[in-house]
Amino acid sequence: MRKKAQKIPALLEENGLAYSDSIKAETIALSLEKQFSLNDLSHRETENEVKKSTENFSSPSLIDKQIDNLKYIQPSEVIKFIKKLNIKKACGFDCITNKMLRNLPCTMIFEITEIINNIFKFSYFPKAWKTAVVVPILKPGKDPTQPEIYRPISLLSKLTENFILDKLNVHLVENKILCPEQFGFRKSLPTTHQLLRVVEYITSGVQKGECTGAVFLDVQKTFDRVWIQGLIHKLIRYKTPPHLLQFLKSYLEERKFAVKIGNSIFEAKIMRAGIPQGEKISLVLYSVYVNDIPKTHKTLLEQLTKTYHIQRYEFSQQQQLLFTGTSSCSALAKIPQDPDELPPTQHLPPTTAADHLIPRTEIIHQHQLTITGD
């Protein structure tokens, strides 16, 4: 059976309650406009460094040389990806559904392939494709009348983003850029493997007669507050090929969003920060964005970077620090009592510009562990 669309109740707004879909869409759009804004960096040196590197990251001649060696997309690749599309997914601003793509004649497949290849050739992502239709999704356990607690899930063109992701992943894997603690949305590294690693660490401590304490850190507004220029700066530092980098720059900059509730769509607003939610490429780009969060020799930093509940479109950025000691007291003594003392919050790179970790931080202690099995 097809899942019923989520019904959004009346929302609180400045003049009272928003009942109609059009007023609800406007209320959430104004709330998201505030969310899609950059945190106060208060770090002029970093801002100047990022501005300089993003303005001068490559020369046109180098990009032209890479274009000559560009591997073009083949129609067979486009067909292969279209077959994987879920025909029940909603469409974006272009009103082209996945079901329509499934039924295109071969001549149109060739046309689409040529469009995608020209997009890569000129390192230019069409402005018309940079306006996302946002469908608000209620966060579990939250007050449904508050407009700021709805997740902005974007409906975007999947075809081109898929091929961008392939090219980006090739660079990240071949150059071993992502840190080994990063699990989730990486080939052969699902988040379940990270959970096994945590269990193994705790079990090892138990076998040695040790206790384990843990700190869980969660970044708020994970995707909404990404500093685009800071992300591009990091892609430059990771030596992303100039042609791909120029394309990603075009893809990320000058994006807009329009909120849709029912049949009502509120006028498009500018995203001053953030990357689209609901896209696999956004998940990988965020992994790059937080890849330089520091570690500490005193702890095992487990980056549960994104615990994904795909069925409900819940994306969260989590890190876990595990501490061991010969007794409960010694393990607890290693856990900072003030979240400000936690290594990732002490030395968070200015270019990350993430919301502070305190509001969603939990500190727990394993008093007793019982292991059962066959």
How high is the pLDDT of residue 300?
A: 40
343 within a domain of the structure (yes/no): no
Quote the pLDDT of residue 238: 93
Contact 179, 291 (CB under 8 A): yes
The pLDDT value given to residue 66: 54
Q: How many domains does the chain have?
A: 1
20 belongs to a structural domain: yes
What confidence tier does 372 reach under pLDDT thresholds 50, 70, 90? very low
pLDDT band at 106 (very low <50, low <70, confident <90, very high): very high
pTM exceeding the 0.75 threshold for the entire prediction: yes
Residue 367 lies in a domain: yes
- Helix axes 60-68 and 242-252, enclosed angle (nearest 10): 110
In this model, does residue 105 exceed pLDDT 90? yes
Is 224 among the domain residues? yes
Please tell me the predicted confidence (pLDDT) of residue 194: 76
pLDDT by residue (tens digit) across 215-260? 666 677 778 888 999 999 999 999 998 889 999 999 999 999 999 8
Residue 342 domain-assigned (yes or no):
no
Cα(233)–Cα(245) distance, rounded to whole angstroms? 10
**With 70 as the cut, is the pLDDT of residue 52 above it?**
yes
Q: Is the pLDDT of residue 108 over 90?
A: yes
Range of the domain at 283: 11-306+361-371
Within-domain flag for 298: yes
Least confident of 40-54, 64-78, 268-282, 287-301: 287-301
Residue partners of 371: CB distance under 8 A and separation at least 6: 203, 206
Contact 163, 116 (CB under 8 A): yes
Q: Among residues 76, 352, 370, which one has the least CA distance to residue 228?
A: 352
Q: What's the mean pLDDT in 142-151?
A: 86
Quick check: is 337 in a domain? no
The string of pLDDT tens digits covering residues 286-324 is 889 888 876 554 444 444 333 322 222 222 345 555 555
Token pair listed for 354: 């993430």
The yes-or-no verdict on residue 345 having pLDDT over 80 is no
Q: Is the pLDDT of residue 1 over 80?
A: no
* List of residues 6+ apart from 77 with CB closer than 8 A: 113, 163
Considering the chain, what percentage of its residues have pLDDT values greater than 90? 16
Strand spans (E) along 179-315: 211-219, 256-261, 264-265, 269-270, 300-302
Percent above pLDDT 70 for the chain: 70
Tokens representing residue 71 in the block: 């591997």
Question: What confidence tens digit (pLDDT) does each residue in 70-86 have?
Answer: 688 999 999 998 998 88
Whether 277 has a pLDDT exceeding 70, the answer reads: yes
- Find where tokens 């507050």 sit: 225
Report pLDDT digits (tens) over 331-344.
Answer: 444 555 555 555 44
Q: Identify whether 142 is part of a domain.
A: yes
DSSP characters over 295-312: --TTSEEE------BGGG
Using 50, 70 and 90 to split pLDDT, how confident is the model at 359? very low
Distance CA 310, CA 40 (A): 31
> What is the distance between the alpha carbons of residues 322 and 185, in angstroms, rounded to a whole number?
23
What pLDDT does 80 receive? 92
| pLDDT at position 111 | 94
Which tokens in the block code for residue 322? Answer: 């595990």
pLDDT, residue 215, reads 66
Q: Considering only 153-162, 209-218, 231-240, which range has the smallest mean pLDDT?
A: 209-218
Cβ atoms 351, 294 nearer than 8 A: no
